[in-house]
């Protein structure tokens, strides 16, 4: 089994080291793009040397694979790594795993199968957990009051909103979900929390988590809130808060991106590995 997919994990942050460690339980796995100081003694994972004749069945790239400079995104390596030096080691018929797959990446690995692990449903679901935990950690660090008894608004009852609700209930927070329709209200009900339509949500909350990737809290909406409310935005790309307006209004708002890798690199790396194993299992016709 170990020989089935000879794997190279190349570049990325600490998540990728733990991803490699998990993959190495199943397949012959090595890493590149991590200087010694980043590899603890108790992490037994082989460093690859991209010598002539070295060849891999599977290459795992980071969530953001290629940097602005066209080099491999490898923040844990002092030297730059040319992605072409990686691509040369992939045997014909091999497979690449990466987040955010774009044209640039396709040109580096022409004709190869490239799997975007970020679009896997189970990865998004699992990542909701480190994201929610990281967001709650931020709230605990920033707030001078306990979460117990605090009025908390969660905007959106998707994966992350649900994960947040579960955690905050345990703290004894007074949780309300801001929802868009009756289906959202019903989801809140199943999770044992109250709900309000987002447009009608008041401002009497000590903590607001946004999970919806569109401008929910514009200047007007923000101006109803006081300085005692902490906003934590977990939405990607456009984000859900007008941060300039928040600053001017003296409202503390944090845009917390990439939490899984920051607050729980081991778990996040294992989540990526599990998705890769799932895909490789499907390819082999296995029932992982």
Nearer to a copy of itself, 185 or 257 (CB): 185
Which CB sits closer to a copy of itself, 166 or 215? 166
Shortest Å, Cβ 159 to a copy of itself: 7
Looking at beta carbons only, is 84 or 140 nearer to a copy of itself?
140
Q: Are 73 and 67 in contact (CB under 8 A)?
A: yes
Q: Which of residues 93-152 bind a copy of itself (CB under 8 A)?
A: 121-122, 125-126, 128-130, 133-134, 136-137, 140-141, 143-149
Q: Least separation, in Å, of the C-beta of 275 and a copy of itself? A: 7
For residue 253, the cross-strand partners are 231
**Does 278 engage in binding with a copy of itself (CB under 8 A)?**
yes
Q: Where are the beta strands (DSSP E) in the chain?
A: 7-10, 29-32, 46-47, 56-60, 90-98, 113-116, 151-155, 174-179, 194-197, 207-210, 230-233, 252-255
Report how far residue 85's alpha carbon sits from residue 92's, in angstroms, rounded to the nearest whole number. 15
Query: Measured from the CB atom, is 79 or 227 closer to a copy of itself?
Result: 227
Using the minimum distance from each CB to a copy of itself, give the nearer residue, 81 or 125: 125
Contact status, residue 256 vs residue 234, Cβ threshold 8 Å: yes
**Residues that contact a copy of itself, how many (by CB under 8 A):** 57
In whole angstroms, give the CA distance from residue 63 to residue 12: 7
- Residues in contact with 242: Cβ distance below 8 Å, sequence separation at least 6, in sequence order: 215, 217, 218, 219, 222
Comparing CA positions, the residue from 228, 203, 198, 200 lying closest to residue 215 is: 198
CB 113 to a copy of itself: min, Å: 20
Reduced to 3 DSSP states, what percent helix, strand and coil does the chain have, rounded to the nearest 5? 40, 20, 40
Cβ nearer to a copy of itself, comparing 186 with 224: 186
Contacts to a copy of itself by CB under 8 A:
14, 18, 42, 121-122, 125-126, 128-130, 133-134, 136-137, 140-141, 143-149, 159, 162-163, 166-172, 181-183, 185-187, 189-193, 197, 199, 227, 263-267, 274-275, 278, 287-288
């Amino acid at each position: 089994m170990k020989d089935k997919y000879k794997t190279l994990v190349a570049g990325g942050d600490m998540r990728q080291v733990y991803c490699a460690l998990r993959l190495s339980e199943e397949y012959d796995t090595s890493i590149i793009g991590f200087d010694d100081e980043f590899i603890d003694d108790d992490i037994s994972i082989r460093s690859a040397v991209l010598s002539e004749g070295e060849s891999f069945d599977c290459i795992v790239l980071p969530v953001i694979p290629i940097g602005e400079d066209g080099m491999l995104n490898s923040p844990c390596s002092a030297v730059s790594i040319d992605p072409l030096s990686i691509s040369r080691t992939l045997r014909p018929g091999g497979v690449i795993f990466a987040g955010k797959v774009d044209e640039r990446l396709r040109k580096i690995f022409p004709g190869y199968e490239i799997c975007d692990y970020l679009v896997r449903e189970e990865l998004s679901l699992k990542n909701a957990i480190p994201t929610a935990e990281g967001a709650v950690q931020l709230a605990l660090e920033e707030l001078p009051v306990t979460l117990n008894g605090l009025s908390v608004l969660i905007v959106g009852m998707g994966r992350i909103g649900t994960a947040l609700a579960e955690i905050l209930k345990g703290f004894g927070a007074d949780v309300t979900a801001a929802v868009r329709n009756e289906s959202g209200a019903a989801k809140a009900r199943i999770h044992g929390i109250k709900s309000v339509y987002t447009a009608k949500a008041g401002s009497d909350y000590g903590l607001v988590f946004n999970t919806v990737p569109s401008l929910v809290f514009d200047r007007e909406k923000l101006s109803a809130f006081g300085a005692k409310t902490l906003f934590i935005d977990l939405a990607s790309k456009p984000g859900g808060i007008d941060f300039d307006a928040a600053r001017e209004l003296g409202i503390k708002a944090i845009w917390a991106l990439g939490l899984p890798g920051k607050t729980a690199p081991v778990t996040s790396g294992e989540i990526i590995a599990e998705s890769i194993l799932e895909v490789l299992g499907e390819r082999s016709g296995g029932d992982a």
